[in-house]
Amino acid sequence: MERTLILFKPDAVQRGLSGEILSRFERKGLKIAGMKLMQISQELAAKHYEAHKERPFYPGLVQFMTSSPVVALALEGIGAIATCRKLMGATFGSDAEAGTIRGDYGVSRSFNLVHGSDSPEAAERELGLFFPEGLVDYDYAAYNWIYDPVEELKK
């Protein structure tokens, strides 16, 4: 099983899309391992986006991400990172395919509703930043109806 961080950004929270976005991930078969509504501090935003510190968009990005609450979500599943990125769609809403979160709800280049880890290394780092208390581990009964153990073992 793989874990990933998803953030519902301030625009998603302020537009009342948190439930709709969450339901897409759940309907796909991803397990919630952590979830909280939180206000990102300047310090956390700086750590999270430190790779972009020298880019011209960095100050605006930090200002945006600290402007309003976000929902931090830890999701788990086989191939969770790739699955979540497909559900989110292309970075810019105007480029995202219909049927994706950004394709259905976004048009802006700046306000793109969701963040998702882009690699296992990034997920581990980001989950540590947003869930320093750790994640919840439990038996998820739905896995018995989502994954065929015979087929999954072949991968």
Catalytic residues: 115
Structural contact between residues 17 and 105, judged by C-beta atoms closer than 8 angstroms: yes
Phi, psi of 116, deg, nearest 5? -140, 140
CA–CA separation, 99 vs 94, rounded Å?
A: 13
Q: Which of 109, 113, 111, 91 lies closest to 24, judged by CA?
A: 113
User: Quick one: three-class SS letters along 13-28?
Assistant: HHCCCHHHHHHHHHHH
